[in-house]
Amino acid sequence: MTYDDDGNHYGFTLSDELIMIRDQVRRFMRDEVKPIEDKLPHDATHCDPADEARLRGIAEEMGLGRLNVPAEYGGQENDCMIRCIVNEEASKCRLGGYRPALGAIRRGPPNIIWRGTPEQVHKYGIPCVEGDMTGYIAITEPTGGSDPRNNIQTRAVKKGDKWILNGRKMWITYAGVSDWGVIFARSREAEDGRPPEITAFIVEPSFPGISFEPIPVIRPLYPYEITLDNCEVPEENLLGEVGAGFGVAEQWLVAGRMPYAAGCIGMAQEALDMACGWVKQRSSQRGLLADKQAIQWMIADSETELRAARMLVYEAASASDRGENAKILASACKLFGTETAFRVVDRAIQMFGGMGVAREMPLERWLRELRIKRIGEGPSEVHRMVIARDKLKNTDGGVYFG
């Protein structure tokens, strides 16, 4: 068990509400999700639509269907801590890297849609909550994605009552299978020492001049390349104000990093728990693997690192829920959470030996998923840069060297 019976988690006390939600999701995963998952092919990307619909219905009854939707639009408007706890538990399945609880707990629309006009919210946001519509975010380009303000080369030019977009987006998850997306483009070049102006646009796959191409990667869910060739976007699909796109993008990215890291921790925690069960029954050289010092050190390091990673997520989520600027904390938990999760799953595979890479086990799939997670939502190196710059800016040298 990750938590004790009183909800005390390594120095962090969970409220009664959080304990109840956590335990609900655990039971749901054990009783409803696991039996369906056991019947799926190894590299499945979805379960049967009927099964997913049934699971979603149960999740809705549990209050888990609209976790990140404002109350005015029929959502729960739950805080970041709740989303992190739910995502950690719901990611403990074979498809946990991108479809927690086999899709039962909706990923929902990109949360920046709630900053749109009432017409945009009702056309794009509400159908994602009440129906099967889905959306995506497109920032990264062939020239890079770690510095969106300066690396975005896609251009947007106003012509009459339309915006004309030209450029390419790369590595965009869900783009080719979604009903709409948000594209970020330059609407003005850098000048007089000012950075380029970035603006956000809502696009649909039916718009003239937009096309999608899947990019095969190491996991079964492929991202897409988006080509914009004089793509026509109506004026009413401008999201937010002209030139305000960078702020919109940053808000979306920061808000998503804590649950993102929590999901990685969930997969890794499950992998470690599985490995512990294995070594306690597996014999080697006239003794159990669990009695070997090398195995015990792998377990100790993994458990310690997962505890630390989870506390970083909780610290960031708590700060966000208090209305504080959680940008640096979000970078820290995303960096440490994804790298820790990858190491832990890698150790679990080592403890399992040959069985660890067998396709009947979820471990090798989680390892592939977690390798991608170290790149998605900003690669580790960018988060190190963000954290270091903030530290250098806000530290005067300490007591002995100021």
Question: Which residues are catalytically annotated?
Answer: 377
CA distance 33 to 329: 32
Query: Is 305 in contact with 344 (CB distance < 8 Å)?
Result: yes
Look up residue 272 and give its DSSP letter.
H
- Residue appearing with tokens 């067998």: 358
Contacts of 198 (CB under 8 A, 6+ apart): 148, 149, 152, 184, 185, 186, 187, 243, 245, 246, 249
Name the strand (E) or helix (H) holding 69.
none
Look up residue 376 and give its DSSP letter.
T
CA distance 97 to 260: 9
Structure tokens, 326: 């959680």
The SS3 assignment for 169 reads strand
The SS3 assignment for 134 reads coil
Sign of the C-alpha dihedral computed for residues 198, 202, 207 and 213 taken in this order: positive
Structure tokens, 304: 């310690």
In 111-196, beta strands by DSSP E: 135-138, 155-159, 162-172, 180-188
What single letter denotes the amino acid at residue 226? I
Backbone φ and ψ for 158, nearest 5 degrees, come out as -80, 125
